């Protein structure tokens, strides 16, 4: 099982390449969708890493993949500038999921 990266910048791709993860750098919704579809066709890819900026461009597609497919696993990662999520992201996620404010 291989891992694959969809990144919006070369620095993230280089860092992941040093860890042994192949990938591509894409910009824009159409390029992202084309690269994602190509990765989905490869049955040897078990995990797809995708930067948060690219997820913002195709949220409907990513949500569909996460809800309706068991493989590959899609993991959102921050890019070299850090995460775009608010500091209380995990707490809000838990609050929404179980309805308890912690």
**Burial of residue 94 (number of CB atoms within 10 Å: 0-12, 13-18, 19+):** middle
- Local structure of residue 82 (DSSP, 8 states): B
**DSSP conformation class of 86:** -
**pTM for this structure?**
0.78
CATH of segment(s) 2-98: 3.40.50.10580
| pLDDT tens profile 38-92 | 999 999 999 999 999 999 999 999 999 988 988 899 999 887 666 666 666 566 6
């Amino acid at each position: 099982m291989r891992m694959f990266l969809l990144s919006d910048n070369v620095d993230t791709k280089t860092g992941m390449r040093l860890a042994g993860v192949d990938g591509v750098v894409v910009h824009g919704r159409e390029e992202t969708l084309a690269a994602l579809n190509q990765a989905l066709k490869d049955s040897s890819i078990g995990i797809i890493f995708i930067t948060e900026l690219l997820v913002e461009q195709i949220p409907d597609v990513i949500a569909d993949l996460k809800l309706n497919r068991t493989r590959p696993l899609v993991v959102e990662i921050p890019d070299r500038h850090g995460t775009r999520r608010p500091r209380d992201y995990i707490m809000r996620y838990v609050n929404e999921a179980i309805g308890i404010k912690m």
